Structure 1
Amino acid sequence: MKLTPTRAALAAGLALCAQSATAEGKLNLYNFGLYTPPDLLEKFSQEYDVEVTLTDFVANEEAIARIQAGGHGMDVIIVSGYFIPAYVDQGLLMESNPTEMENFKHIAEQWKSIPTDPDRKYTVPWVWGTTGVMVNKKVYDGDINTAAIFLDPPEELKGSINLVPSMNDTIDMTLRYIGAETCTTDRDSLSKARDLLLKAKENWASVDYPSFEKFINEDLNATIFWNGAAARVRGLNEGFAYGWPESGYMKWMDNVAIPSDAANVENAKLFMNFIMAPENAAMISNYTMYSNGIVGSEEFMDPELVNAPELNVPEALQGAAIEQTLCPPEAQDLYTRIWTELTR
């Protein structure tokens, strides 16, 4: 039906009123620390007349424990891809059906289905990235596309290496380095991985989530690290470079989901749709310095970020990516035993 200008204006006004009536209220967001652009929340709040409250967490384990306990009050939560099955199996996520949302069409083809949410019933992309190594090239100018950086380090780096306390990433990359499969229950392979890690530990300065200042000041010169975080460090100390171990590095996506007991469901769905708009996805990338999985977002991103070496895997190393996964219980238990011995 073709609307006259008067009818069109009336219809638009009614639509706006209906949208505001639906959207007004609150939204409680639960995300990793330093992972949410304040201007994104301000834009969403103004656009939909919604008061947004952000609560931070440190790790997936902390987040799921709070959701399991109930009474958390969260409406939107960021979940790493490999943790989605743990939430779904316990009925902790709502089937929000993002494929029916208007902006789902903007998701890049490779991210419309992920192994842990193949039909995208529960989640939409937040950002994606890789876990590899970061090295100060002023201290060591050799090959950095290798897990030897932390497992069999060159003399120049010994004593100034950090290991971020990410159990699965560390053990997965170690297993691949010795030619074994990830999530294995083979005792010989796991023993070799444990022995190598324990020997390598003698060369590490710390197992920590260190402040960026420790790299900027060159107190630490190498670490297992995430590509976006590495880009941030390089921006403050150009000596640092990011490497993708050719034996295997981790590829992951963090996703947005709605807890099954969320109170402000409609606002949560509005937020999911909102972040799939290219200009809004770009705001997330510009703040976190990670890729986002939304087609067209590059137009709104910082050009230096789009072209950042940390966000562009060399073609020769693309096949070495390992999809980040949570291992079956038996393998996970064996991983935990190794990790406990390594970090005590």
Structure 2
Amino acid sequence: MPSRPLIAASLLSLSLALPAPAQEAEKVLYFYNWTDYYPVELLAKFTDETGIEVILDGYDSNETLLAKLQAGGAAYDVIVPSDYVVPGMIADGHLMKIDAPGLSNFVHVKEAFADPDFDPGRQYTAPYLWGTTGIAYDSAQVAGAELEQSWKVFFEPQPEMEGKIAALDISSELILAASLYLGIPQCTESNDDAKRILELLEAQKTKLKLYSADSTVDRMASGEVAMHHLWNGATARATAQRDTIRYIYPVEGTPMFRDNFAVPVTAPHPENAKIFINWMMAPENAAAVSNAIAYANAIKSDEFLSDQWRGMEAINMPDAFSGRLVATQDCGPAARELQDRIWTRLKG
């Protein structure tokens, strides 16, 4: 076995022999996140503090993320899956163990997010942001300026709202909303249930302006649509530009999502990924994300949060609505196949 000095000398010689780009390649992080779900300016701070350059790419749904991983073409270091897809990703061998509790900043994680059902012990994920999916509407474009706290206003809108409504172009989100409205289990495997969901969505389709999960904030803030099936954080950011926007927590059930940092098994820079994830669990950095994009984080960071969001109902849900929250579930293969069939028929 070579002596330690000889090993060190050999490594130094190898390092000097490598061209500069090869040496610098280790100071890179490939970050794959939801579109408009991270403040770019915060990446500059991370680079300044760690020397690691971040290359950010975006996607519009968990389905897009899964397809990328399943195709084997994803050379990303950090990804952001939602709670309900994590168990399947673990079972399919897509995620690397990171032992989040072993990272120094995990001590700042709020208790409610430290040991989730979808990743017991946080072996594969670390918490990022959480929120809800409900209905945003412009009260200035609504008769009476107020709408019922129900999915009914979205699926069976008033005649004057027709053609002014946008639905998220995400199968899991729209089918779950329809299931909640109809009182159908979100992971149903019943063909009769699927028929009822499809009939509701097909009847609604003629009343929509578009399906889209991109540019939602601009679309709502500009008044392009009067109602949007939308996340609470996007609603809050739109409200900051157009103060007549309101947010509905549907009484039949309001989906709650918990998004997470994870590292694919194919990550080219897994150690850089752990450095980034640990850095993001520092309270001031977690709060910087919440302040920029208006979603609640899972870190003890309240002292750093902006007053702008504290008084906005889309972000600070009234306690009386807590019983409406419905956690998204990891549906089995039969339920997912049924949902795929509904979506194909709807969008075909």
Q: Return the TM-score normalized by structure 2.
A: 0.87
Q: What's the CA shift string for 1:72-91, capped at 9, x where partnerless?
A: 33211111222212321221
Distance 1:329 1:103 in 2: 36
* 1:63 and 2:65 aligned: yes
Q: Deviations over 1:88-132 (max 9, x none)?
A: 122111110001111111111111122221221011111111000
Q: How does 1:259-278 map to 2 (within 5 A)?
A: 259-278=264-283
Aligned to 1:247: 252
Q: Distance in 2 between matches of 1:25 and 1:311?
A: 36
2:185 — aligned with what? 181
Structure 2: how far apart are the matches of 1:115 and 1:148?
31
Aligned twin of 1:54: 56
Moved more, 319-328 or 96-105: 319-328
Asked if structure 1 preserves the Cα contact closer than 8 Å seen for 2:28 and 2:53, the reply is yes
Compared CA separation, residues 303 and 62, structure 1 to 2 (3 A): same
Corresponding residue of 1:77: 79
Q: In the TM superposition, what is the alpha-carbon distance from 1:339 to its structure 2 partner?
A: 1.6
Bigger Cα displacement from structure 2, 138-147 vs 86-95? 138-147
* Correspondence for 2:160 among 156, 162, 173: 156
Name 2:7's counterpart in structure 1.
none
Alignment partner of 1:167 out of 165, 168, 171: 171
Alignment deviations for residues 37-70 of structure 1 (CA, whole Å, 9 cap, x no partner): 2232122212222222222223222323333344
Matched, 1:313 2:313: no
Q: Which runs of 5+ in 1 are unaligned?
A: 1-23
Q: Does structure 2 retain, via aligned residues, the 8 Å contact 1:35–1:287?
A: no
**Which segments of 5 or more consecutive residues in structure 2 lack a partner in the other structure?**
1-25
**One-letter amino acid matched to 2:225:** L
Shift of 1:210: 5.4
Structure 1 letter corresponding to 2:287: A
Shift of residue 173, structure 1, vs aligned partner: 1.9
Structure 2 CA distance for partners of 1:217 and 1:283, relative to 1, 3 Å: closer
| Equivalent in the alignment of 2:129 | 127
- Give the match for residue 327 of structure 2: 323
Output the CA distance in 2 between the equivalents of 1:204 and 1:43: 41
CA deviation profile, 1:170-193 (whole Å, cap 9, x unmatched): 222222212222111223333222
Equivalent residue letter for 2:160: E
Cα distance in 1 between the residues matched to 2:225 and 2:214: 9
The secondary structure found in structure 2 opposite 1:170 is: helix
Whether the aligned pair in 2 keeps the contact of 1:31 and 1:78 (CA below 8 Å) is yes
Within 5 A, what are the aligned runs for 1:1-344? 25-70=27-72, 72-140=74-142, 141-209=145-213, 211=215, 212-295=217-300, 297-344=301-348
Measured at CA, do residues 186 and 244 of structure 1 come closer, stay the same or move farther in structure 2, by a change above 3 Å?
same
Query: Shift in Å at residue 209 of structure 1?
Result: 2.9
What secondary structure, in the 3-state scheme, does the structure 2 residue paired with 1:138 have? helix
Is the CA contact (8 Å cut-off) linking 1:132 and 1:244 kept in structure 2? yes
User: RMSD between aligned alpha carbons?
Assistant: 2.0
Percent identity, aligned pairs only? 34
CA deviation map 1:250-285 (0-9, x unaligned): 100111011112232222111111111110101111
Query: Residue 21 of structure 2 corresponds to which residue in structure 1?
Result: none
